[in-house]
Amino acid sequence: MANLLSVSILNANFGNLAQEIELINNSEADWIHLDIMDGVFVPNISFGMPIVAEIKRFAKKPLDVHLMISNPDNYIEAFKNAGADILTVHYETCTHLNRTISHIKETGMKAGVCLNPHTPVNVLEEIIEYVDLVLLMTVNPGFGGQKFISNSFEKIKKLSNLCKSKNVSPHIEVDGGVDDTNIKMLADSGVNVMVVGSYIFRSKEPIETIKKIKVLQN
């Protein structure tokens, strides 16, 4: 399975959003990662469907949409209509996760499930064969630019072992504190989708930084 880079726009310049999306279009990045926060499930508010739809107008890469919101079932169709290609929900917010995943896939989107740092991998044993992607938060969700939680490597190993035991191969994605100090180790541990945001947008040469990440993860 190819290693992919999903660029998070949380730290992008929203005053020049079209230019930022064009920068990603012209880079070696594979996906555009959108963090949707409601101020309830996580202590921050980001943006909603209208911004997703605007990004879709300019984007030439798939939209990797991560719902950090309560009651995500109420908004699945809306995010599909706004242009999401991959829709990831949190295990912690879904009472009937199998039904939620099925609904996402019925719309034609790829379906992902995310775990917060404190949530153990074994909660996925009964759902892992139905998902296209598992996203592991490697920081506490809500804000960009946080420090990577080092024991995430053990969690990634457990997830990889679970996938092998079930004979499935969803994308394994990580989000939070990913930079040049840990990208290679993450790739070697089984991660094939890196979400990177602040490390890219705080660099002087984002296109070159993206190229560097792609070299490191392959």
CA angle 138, 91, 41 (to 5 degrees): 75
CB 215 within 8 A of CB 5: no
Helix H segments across the chain? 17-25, 49-58, 76-82, 97-106, 152-166, 183-189, 198-201, 206-217
Closest CA to 160 of 151, 172, 175, 148: 172
* Residue 175 annotated as catalytic: yes
* Residue 30 annotated as catalytic: no
Closest CA to 185 of 158, 162, 163, 156: 156
CB 147 within 8 A of CB 108: no
Q: Write down the catalytic residue from 30, 35, 38, 64.
A: 35
Cα 5 to Cα 110: distance, rounded to the nearest angstrom: 17
CB 212 within 8 A of CB 9: no
CB 217 within 8 A of CB 3: yes
Q: Write down the catalytic residue from 38, 85, 175, 180.
A: 175
Q: Which two tokens stand for residue 95?
A: 């009472």
3 state DSSP class of 142: coil
Catalytic amino acids?
Answer: 35, 175
